[in-house]
A and B are shown apart, each in its own frame.
Chain A
Amino acid sequence: MPRLSEIQDLIAGTNLTPELDPTQINITGGYAGDMLSDVMSSAKSGQAWITIMKHLNIVAVASLVEIPAIILAKSNIPEAAVLQKANAEKICILSSPRDTFTISGILYKLLNPDY
């Protein structure tokens, strides 16, 4: 099971929630999507969520579904209040310059090395 820090290195990610340590977060899979209802319906606990959404509700959704990490594609950076809330909810937020498709591919390859 990869740690979030391995993913962070591969996607040139910046940890926007430095109080949370990506080397201590295990990632069981991934889900990509910007429609919150779809994520709530289909993402699974323990997965990293890749999205371009950056408003406060992403933290609420991640918390409800027990997603430990949100990866913001295309260098999206949320407001301080979002990061504060994420810290409080122990949801690590990474920002990557790559787009959703690329991040998904990298994460997929890492999770399925034999594919």
Chain B
Amino acid sequence: MLDYAVAESDMAEFWYIRPGYEHAVQKHFKNQQEPEVSLESLIREKDFNEAGKGSAEVKNLLKRLGVNPDILRRIAVAAYEAEINVAAHSLGGAMLSNIYPDRIHMVFLDNGPGIADIEQAMMPGFSTADEMVRELGFGAGLGLPNIKKNTDALHIVSEAGDSTMLEFLVFFNNNGQ
């Protein structure tokens, strides 16, 4: 299991909640409800052939569950960006998807080396991606902003030299109810 306690320590932290979703997001974290389905997969460092498989698996499952195509796309894009981030920038990690009747909660946890400045990393166009990552068409500094754009809540906890935890929520109905 992934440890949520890190969010309460004094590490660098970023929170975004889409306006209007404050109550629903708060309820999610407060209630600690058991998910209907959980999926977990590993993400290996610089393995761009495998990265994306976890997101595709989640997308296919949600599609079968009948999630609205526009919302499905938002989840798929956010998940893929987050998965690529772990592969491109970290020493590897894992993704965990918790699916509830009305929402999905995805958690990406890596083995470091952490984000030095989260606010800076959130700025469109800022990237620390290396040449290999850029040659593959990533590293434009659009990943985190893209995740934020497509999710109803985004939470990142990190510290330079340590691991990064990124989690997001997307509700299957547009109003978060």
Q: Are B136 and A64 in contact (CB under 8 A)?
A: no
Beta-carbon contacts of B133-164 to A below 8 Å, as 1s and 0s?
00011101011001001000000000000000
B69 within 8 A of A: yes
Contacts of B21 in A (CB 8 A): none
B27 within 8 A of A: no
B77 within 8 A of A: yes
Contacts of A58 in B (CB 8 A): 137
- If A55-B48, A60-B80, A64-B56 touch, whether A35 touches B73 (CB-CB below 8 Å) is no
Q: Are A56 and B49 in contact (CB under 8 A)?
A: yes
Beta-carbon contacts of B50-65 to A below 8 Å, as 1s and 0s?
0110011001000000
Q: Are B80 and A61 in contact (CB under 8 A)?
A: yes
Q: Are A65 and B137 in contact (CB under 8 A)?
A: no
**Secondary structure at chain A's binding surface: helix, strand, loop or mixed?**
helix
Contacts of B59 in A (CB 8 A): 64
Contacts of B51 in A (CB 8 A): 57
B48 to chain A, nearest CB (A): 6
**Secondary structure at chain B's binding surface: helix, strand, loop or mixed?**
helix
Contacts of A66 in B (CB 8 A): 69, 73
Q: Are B80 and A40 in contact (CB under 8 A)?
A: yes
Across the interface, name the chain A residue whose C-beta is closest to B83.
Answer: A60
A-B contact sample (18 more), CB < 8 A, given A35-B142, A57-B84: A34-B137, A35-B138, A35-B140, A37-B81, A37-B142, A38-B140, A38-B142, A41-B149, A45-B73, A53-B136, A53-B137, A61-B80, A63-B56, A64-B55, A64-B56, A64-B73, A64-B80, A81-B49
